[in-house]
Amino acid sequence: MVNDMTLPTMDRRAAVAKLLAARDGALVVTGLGSPSYDVHAAGDMDNNYYLWGAMGGAALVGLGIAQAQRDRRVMVITGDGEQLMAFGALATIAVAAPKNLDVIVLDNQHFGETGMQPSHTGHGIALDRVAAAAGFAETAEIRSLEELGALTKRLREPAAGPRLFVLKVEANNLPRSLPPRDAVFVKNRFRAHLGLASC
């Protein structure tokens, strides 16, 4: 049972495609499950780092990259369930205060991968407001592709600190678009993109 009166209707694949069309060279980290499939469906890229596990780790992997690559923008694209597992990470990221890290939460208010069980975000937990309370520089909830269009412009402007945007998306399981599962390959490909040695 989801209490939210207006169920989200934004198509997640269209939203992610729109976001990535404007990525402008950003390094992308994806949370396990549907966000990894959504980003892969928009086009496999060397500067995508897909997680297939390590639930709760996506935004923090993004933080580590952002701290090592201060001149590049890092965009983490993850799900509500994955970010809920890393509630404390919002405090850690807010205190670290990187100016080049954006966290995008694809919020379908469900644990989609495991049978579409409702998640906390359909029961009043608003991750954008949690991030704002923690001290993120900018946060918002986005409910339509039109609003997302405006967000892609904002994302290309310099930030005063970490930003988190919740994209309320329709709860559905789309055909999977599977990124490579070879974790070492994806790691080396990502590092090679940055001019770093493989191994």
Partner 1 sequence: MSVVDRISAGAARDPAREWPLELYDLLKRAGIRQVSYVPDAGHSALIRLFGDDADMTTNMLTTEEEGIAIATGAWLGGQRSVVLMQSSGVGNCINMLSLPVQTRTPLLMLVTMRGEWAEFNPWQVPMGQATEAALTAIGVTVLRAETPEDLIEIAEQAAGMAFDADQQIAVLIGQRLLGKKKW
Nearer to partner 1, 134 or 171 (CB): 134
Nearer to partner 1, 15 or 105 (CB): 105
Min dist. Cβ of residue 18 to partner 1 (A): 25
Closest CA to 97 of 75, 123, 67, 121: 67
> For the CA atoms of 186, 38, 122, 145, what is the dihedral angle to 10 degrees?
130
Does 133 contact partner 1 by CB under 8 A?
Answer: no
Strand order in the sheet with 101-107: 48-50, 27-30, 74-79, 101-107, 163-168, 138-142
Min dist. Cβ of residue 145 to partner 1 (A): 30
Q: How far apart are CA 45 and CA 56, in angstroms?
A: 23
Min dist. Cβ of residue 133 to partner 1 (A): 14
Distances (CA, A) of 143 to 8, 11, 116: 7, 10, 20
Nearer to partner 1, 95 or 150 (CB): 95
Does 63 contact partner 1 by CB under 8 A?
Answer: yes
Does 196 contact partner 1 by CB under 8 A?
Answer: yes
DSSP state of 137: S
Nearer to partner 1, 86 or 171 (CB): 86
Does 155 contact partner 1 by CB under 8 A?
Answer: no
Contact in structure between 8 and 143 (CB atoms under 8 Å): yes
Does 192 contact partner 1 by CB under 8 A?
Answer: no
* Residues that bind partner 1 in the complex, under the rule CB under 8 A: 27, 29, 49, 51, 53-58, 60-69, 86, 88-89, 91-92, 95-96, 183-184, 186-187, 190-191, 194, 196, 199
